[in-house]
Structure 1
Amino acid sequence: MDLAAARTPPWKARRVEEPIATVIKRWLQLAVSDLKRHPTTAVCYGIALCAAGWVTILLLWYFDLEWALLPILAGGMLVGPLATVGLYSMSRRGQDGGATDVASPEQVILIGIILMVFALAWIRAATLIFAIFFGLLPFAGFVETMTTLLSSPQGIATILVGSVFGGLFAALGFAISVFSIPMLVDRKIDCFSAMGLSFNATTHNFRLMISWAVVVCAGILIGLLTGLLGLIFIFPLLGFATWHAYCDLFKGERA
């Protein structure tokens, strides 16, 4: 731990002064080490996420709810961090030499409810945005609707407005959850304080966290383009890396 980290209060994140690429590379390298240390368990987490995604898609198709696929995928990114709790515990065990229990389990459940409300609010907002531009028309089918969205003025406007609102939901959800969930795994603290500290750490390291969010989104996009199969490895890798990002900013642990 350097002098700057030593002067940082224990409940406040440090401001990172190193090059962004260096910091993110370090997080990913530490994540790869964790993945090598816990390959079977980590891959099982990825397989479970992939299976849950396909079950969700099949259920939407079975109940003729294809229109909800894109909003649900976007909403899944808001609640997805909850699935990383076990990964954080594995990384923490490797650092603390046996500490396996979640420090604030009730608060993890509470923040899960809050993120679920966020996701439901986004799905409702997406439905309203579509209705504003297209009215209360019957759903024509996923392929037909995507063609309309990409080839008509109303569709382009829907995508633009939806992207703005979706971006706001995603940015706020990311800011309050990226460090709060690992913090609740690591410390006895209430979820609202953890969310505030997470938001503060994100805003005080804005360029770094924007870059990290781009890396996360790129990883998720690769996972989607590979039919969710890529998430089997990408998901645990990003989970481990986020834990090390938390340790780096809040605990001064960089190796």
Structure 2
Amino acid sequence: MHQSNQTVSSRRKARILDQPVWPTVKHWLALGTADFRNHLGHSILYGLGLVTVIWLTLLALGYFRLGWMILPMISGAMLLGPLTTVGLYRISRRAQGLGGQGVAAPGQIFLVSVVMMVLILTWVRAAVLLFAVFFGLRPFAGFWETLQTLFTTPQGILLFVTGSITGGLFAALGFAISVFSFPMLVQRDIDGFSAMGLSFNATTQNFRLMLAWATCVTALSTIAVLTGLLALIPLFPILGFATWHAYADLFQD
């Protein structure tokens, strides 16, 4: 009987927050900023680690003349954002006194990570196919040549619009199934597919709120890219902590 109650509790759906959208988003960011300040050392370490990995990846793509993959990979990296903040979720959970240092379902985190990687690889493949549709089987250009083609030719502009819409659909799906599944698997002993389903349900049931949150994350991520990723060092942990508080608001016991 105890196991049955635990199962029901683990699969409890999110609340529907009947609160003003942007003040709620601002509140989550404020809580995330407070956690960032309270755990400054760990936060900076996480931010530096992520930026270092991204820059090494970009350098590798440039070295192997795969610059055309940079834009799809940047959008794909945003899909993996929730996974890379698992350690930050653990810090926030301990700070709230909601558990120890471990992860409730580490194997299921791996499962959801595999699903997200498949989604990213599918998006990269779709980007390749879109390029072939608009430009045929010509060799891929480098990053700067690709940018010039995208914004100075009719075919390039059409490819950019089509690719943005397609990438947006992939990003929306990835966001919906992952934004709360990773913090949930840190907190709850639940299977990965149930976690993704509950995350998707929470996103759709709080559509306006989560659209605002996704817009905020995208805007701050864009700012980080425009600063050469330097702004990502503080923004990454702040958004990670804030996402935990969003999860706590929606799925609090």
TM normalised by structure 2 equals 0.94
Q: Counterpart amino acid of 1:204?
A: Q
1:160-175 matches, cutoff 5 A: 160-175=161-176
Deviation at 1:164, TM superposition (A): 1.2
1:26-37 matches, cutoff 5 A: 26-37=27-38
Secondary structure (helix, strand or coil) at the match of 2:246 reads helix
Structure 2 equivalent of residue 92 of structure 1: 93
Structure 2 equivalent of residue 230 of structure 1: 231
Q: Counterpart amino acid of 1:110?
A: L
Structure 1 equivalent of residue 120 of structure 2: 119
Q: Measure the CA separation in 2 of the matches of 1:44 and 1:183.
A: 23
Q: Are positions 1:199 and 2:200 aligned together?
A: yes
Please tell me whether the aligned partners of residues 67 and 141 of structure 2 are also in contact (alpha carbons under 8 angstroms).
Answer: no
Q: Measure the CA separation in 1 of the matches of 2:11 and 2:107.
A: 22
Give deviations 1:52-74, integer Å, cap 9, x for gaps. 11100110111111111111111
Please tell me whether the aligned partners of residues 126 and 162 of structure 1 are also in contact (alpha carbons under 8 angstroms).
Answer: yes
Please tell me whether the aligned partners of residues 10 and 251 of structure 1 are also in contact (alpha carbons under 8 angstroms).
Answer: no
Q: Are positions 1:65 and 2:74 aligned together?
A: no
Structure 1 equivalent of residue 134 of structure 2: 133
Q: Measure the CA separation in 1 of the matches of 2:98 and 2:186.
A: 15
Deviation at 1:144, TM superposition (A): 2.0
Distance 1:97 1:78, change over 3 A: closer
Q: Which runs of 5+ in 1 are unaligned?
A: 1-7
Deviation at 1:127, TM superposition (A): 0.7
Q: Counterpart amino acid of 2:136?
A: G
Give deviations 1:163-215, integer Å, cap 9, x for gaps. 11101100000000001110000000001000000000000000000000000
Give deviations 1:75-97, integer Å, cap 9, x for gaps. 11112211000000000000116
Moved more, 160-169 or 10-19: 10-19
Distance 1:37 1:98, change over 3 A: farther
Secondary structure (helix, strand or coil) at the match of 1:136 reads coil
Q: Counterpart amino acid of 1:189?
A: I
Secondary structure (helix, strand or coil) at the match of 1:137 reads coil
Secondary structure (helix, strand or coil) at the match of 1:96 reads coil
Q: Counterpart amino acid of 2:49?
A: A
Q: Counterpart amino acid of 2:101?
A: T
1:141-220 matches, cutoff 5 A: 141-220=142-221
Task: Let me know the Cα RMSD of the aligned residues.
Answer: 1.4
Deviation at 1:10, TM superposition (A): 7.0
Deviation at 1:9, TM superposition (A): 9.8
Q: Which runs of 5+ in 2 are unaligned?
A: 1-8
Q: Measure the CA separation in 1 of the matches of 2:67 and 2:10.
A: 49
1:41-80 matches, cutoff 5 A: 41-80=42-81
